[in-house]
Amino acid sequence: MGYHTQNINLDKDRKFPGHPVLSQILELIPTGLIQSANRKHQANRYYKRLPLRIHLVSLLYGVFSYCNGLREICEGMLACEGKLAHLGLDKAPARSTLSDANTNRKYLVFETIYYGLLKKYNSFISDSRLKGLSIRNLKIIDSTTISLFSEILQGVGRNRLDGSRKKGGIKVHTLMDAFSGVTEFVRITPAKEHDRKFLYHLKLKEGSWIVFDKAYNTYHHFAKWTAQKVWFVSRMKDNAVFHVTKVLVDKTKKKQAIGVIKEQYITVGIKTNGTVTERLKLRRVIYKAKDGKRYIYITNDFTLPASKIATIYKNRWMIELLFKQIKQNFPLRYFWGESDNAIKMQVYCVLIAQLLMVVIRKKAATKKSFANMITVIRLHLMSYVDLLEFIKDTYKAWRKTHNASFAFST
């Protein structure tokens, strides 16, 4: 028996009016977007056993339920069979069917859905009043490593003495938009790939600001961005070789001085085949925090106050919070397939879920933490309550729903 979409009836379940929480979340994904992604990648043509929409719904159920394996997804959905009609399903998929779909359907269709959702909701979730920033279009670059044991991805580190497999992993290289708090561009590679290679895949608009740590320092790219009027702020490597051309501020001899204690104009050499062929002009700012720690920043911007350069770099912590948010609240500890395709598919489904949660949190105008919100949703994923009201005031929404359900049944 094949899978097909059922028409959803508001009064399908006679005990509770409305839709379960998961169904309300899925309503944020336009049907036209799924159909467009399907046509672009011919996702149903080359894998017909499980239609794309049902595949997406099944994997998002696994993400929001924090399932650590395909068996948990399928058995969990099996327990919800009386409510699956609200999700557009007539039955729960079999584990083997879902496993085959994860291997055979290209992950690129899920990537397309993610970027389509980002385009739809980006202006809605963006905050134009980011604290301490007077610039626009700030991007943050970093990567996070997700450990796994797999024959598909190459292991990291030395061969183990006991003959067991090396610990493998994937590295998720990320370009984050600081004003929306979500991933704007992703590249997934084996963990051993150097961070700097990610820069070759970026397409940045003129006037963009970009922040990253010293692992991405490459003077060739700094020169390229300067020519394109793309501005950056980074930390300077401890062993960097440079020449000072002008000193603007020097408070290093003042013991009690904090904040910007030195500001300089410098030049650094750009080498081609081991020979310096060009010198790039940069600005070097030394900042002393209240705890006494010193930070050395470099930038190709010569107009903003030095204190603002330090503030811009401080916002780099936002991407660390994003990685923590994703790793702690969504299932990336265990993967739902060993193939490279299945792993990337799961990562994109997690990114879709995280983006939808950011949208819902903004719609609900709640002060609840992301972790608290996702926990409540996970526990009530198939409950019949109004999602936005439930997030705003869980107890009030629950009492309202159950009082209405009692009146409805009588």
Contact 217, 211 (CB under 8 A): no
* Distance from C-alpha of 118 to C-alpha of 177, rounded to nearest angstrom: 11
pLDDT in tens, 249-270: 999 888 788 889 999 999 988 8
The 10 Å Cβ neighbour count of residue 334 is: 11
Output phi, psi for 188, to 5 deg: -110, 125
Least confident residue range of 14-23, 26-35, 217-226, 295-304: 14-23
Element (DSSP H or E) covering residue 262: strand 259-272
Instruction: State yes or no: pLDDT of 209 exceeds 80.
Output: yes
Residue 268 tokens read as 């650094």
Strands 168-177 and 138-148, by their bridges, are: antiparallel
Average pLDDT over residues 66-71: 87
* C-alpha radius of gyration, the chain, whole number: 25
Query: Would you place residue 110 in the very low, low, confident or very high pLDDT band (cuts 50, 70, 90)?
Result: very high
Which residue in 46, 55, 8 sits closest to 352, CA to CA?
55
DSSP-based three-state secondary structure for 279: strand
Q: Is 17 exposed, middle or buried (0-12, 13-18, 19+ CB in 10 A)?
A: middle
Tokens of 234: 């980074």
Residue 168 is predicted with a pLDDT of 57
SS3 label, residue 143: strand
Asked if pLDDT for residue 361 goes beyond 60, the answer is yes
| Sign of the dihedral through C-alpha 341, 342, 347, 353 | positive
Does the pLDDT value for residue 149 go beyond 70?
Answer: no
In degrees and rounded to multiples of 5, residue 200 shows phi and psi of -70, -15
Rounded Cα–Cα distance for residues 390 and 366 (Å): 10
Cα(403)–Cα(397) distance, integer angstroms: 10
Tokens of 246: 């002008």
Structure tokens at 303: 């107009």
* DSSP classification of residue 77: H
Share of the chain above pLDDT 70, in %: 84
Q: CA–CA separation, 112 vs 118, rounded Å? A: 10
How large is the average pLDDT for residues 82-102? 81
Going from N- to C-terminal start, the domains of the chain cover: 21-111+337-409
- pLDDT exceeds 60 at position 164: no
- pLDDT, position 161: 47
Task: Return phi, psi of residue 18, to 5°.
Answer: 90, -160
Say whether 69 sits in a helix, a strand or coil: coil
- In the chain, the amino acid numbered 353 is A
Residue 47's pLDDT is 79
By the 8 A CB rule, do 171 and 144 touch? Answer: yes
Q: Place 74 in a pLDDT band, splitting at 50, 70 and 90.
A: confident
pLDDT value of position 402: 58
Q: Amino acid identity, residue 245?
A: T
* Confidence grade of residue 226 (pLDDT, cut at 50, 70, 90): very high
Distance CA 350, CA 110 (A): 10
Phi and psi (nearest 5°) for 44? Answer: -85, -25
Q: What is the residue-averaged pLDDT of the chain?
A: 82
SS3 assignment for 165-200: CCCEEEEEEEEEECCCCEEEEEEEEECCCCHHHHHH
Least confident of 119-123, 328-332, 349-353: 328-332
For residues 282 and 351, give the distance between their C-alpha atoms in angstroms, rounded to a whole number: 36
Angle at 171 between CA 170 and CA 173, to 5 degrees: 150
Local structure of 347: helix, strand or coil:
helix
What angle is formed at CA 123 by the lines to CA 121 and CA 127, rounded to 5 degrees? 115
